[in-house]
Structures are given as C-alpha cells and as structure tokens.
Amino acid sequence: MNELSVTLAGTDLRALGSGALWWPEKELLCVSDLHLGKAERIARRGGAPLPPYETRDTLTRLAADLSKTNARVVICLGDSFDDTEAAFSLPDDEKMWITKMQAGRRWVWIEGNHDPGPVDLGGTHLTELPLAPLTFRHIAKPGASGEISGHYHPKVRLRTRARSITRPAFLADPDRVVLPAYGTYTGGLRSDEAVLSDIMRPEAIAILTGAKPLAMPMPRT
C-alpha cells in the first residue's frame, strides 16, 4: 500500500496515496470532501455540463481503499455530497453501492458546509466525532489539538526544470491533519494561501498524494 506515516497526538496514522487517512489501531478509514453528485448539481443549476461519471469514479476508489484496509470504521469528513439534493438524486445503483460498502462497518457522515442536513443513506450523521485523543470535524478550529479535518481541499505545486505539477496534499503539524479532497471533481486551495498558512504551524509538512506519496515542508508565501 502506498502510504506515509503521520503521528498526531501520539497516534500512528497513515496518509494513503489515494487521499484517505488510515488509523491502523482503530481499523478506521477517513475520507473528506467526496462531493458526490457534483455533475448533477452543476447541471441542475444551469452550469456547464460535466461528464456524469465522477460519483462512480470516487466510489470505485473508495471501494478499493476499503478492500485494501478492510476497515471496520469509515468516517466521511463532510461535504460528502455536493449539496443535500445531490444526495437524494443519486441513481439507485450508486445508493445500493454505498449501502453494500456500509455493511458490517460503522459508517459516520460528518456534517459539511455543502451537506448540513441529514442523509438517508444509512450510517450515523454527526456534527463532529471525538475518538480520544483525536477529534474528527469538517472545518479546522483555531486552537484545536489532535484534530482531523478537511474542507479546504489543500494542494501543492511542484516545479521542476521540465514542468509544473499540482497534486492534492495532506497538511500535518503537531496539532492537526487537514485532508485533501477525495472526490473526483474537486478543485483545491494551494497551501501557500493565507487561510491555510494561518491554521498550520511553521513546522507543518505537506504529503502529496499519488502512486508515490511525497512528504515535504508545507509551501508558504
């Protein structure tokens, strides 16, 4: 499995190349910002049409991570759907797919700013989830410790002599880990933006996702 270790509040976590976070001791897989149904939501609101395959692609990758880890607990860290209506507009086969992935597992939907209402797709719906010594929530809180969050879709740009590459990235410091967006049709916020620099400590690192995860000092302005 392509992964890099991260220690937070004394816990051993693994940043997976897919963008998921794995807590081996708890057999817990955490993903953030799936934004399922984004193509449907954009079409519904009159935006430029996108190929309507992003939900299946996201669920395919999630199913692969569940198969690799055999997770007993799954936490979806907010903005799992692009809006509340998108959750109810998923095709029946995709809803069934989610139901099958939930079978035999504790499945927690954390509320996000895109999907604040309850979702009728099984599992438990919470504002945040404390699992000592960690707390799982959608948006980072100033002064928090042992916090795992998402929301910002962090990404990092790498420049080489030949080209420039942008990849989603975990951000980690002694207080928190911010997850990248897991969904297929999700943009990102560069780590050198002020809102990310403000919540991360000076010694923060970025872990770039991909087939070979790469750890580096978090780029700042």
Residues comprising the chain, all counted? 221
State the CB neighbour count (10 A cutoff) for residue 128. 18
Tokens of 177: 């880990």
pLDDT tens, position by position, 127-155: 999 999 999 999 999 999 999 999 999 99
DSSP state of 161: S
Determine the pLDDT at residue 113: 87
Q: Is the pLDDT of residue 59 over 70?
A: yes
pLDDT band for position 158 (cuts 50, 70, 90): confident
What is the model's pTM?
Answer: 0.92
Rounded distance between C-alpha atoms, residue 116 and residue 110, angstroms: 9
**CA-based torsion, 28, 185, 18, 161: positive or negative:** negative
| Topology given in CATH for the domain delimited by 3-217 | Purple Acid Phosphatase; chain A, domain 2 (3.60.21)
Q: Name the pLDDT band for 43 (thresholds 50, 70, 90).
A: low
Contact indicator for 132, 100 with CB cutoff of 8 Å:
no
176-178 and 147-149 strand pairing: parallel
**Residue 35 pLDDT greater than 60, yes or no:** yes
On whether the CB atoms of residues 169 and 216 are closer than 8 A, the answer is no
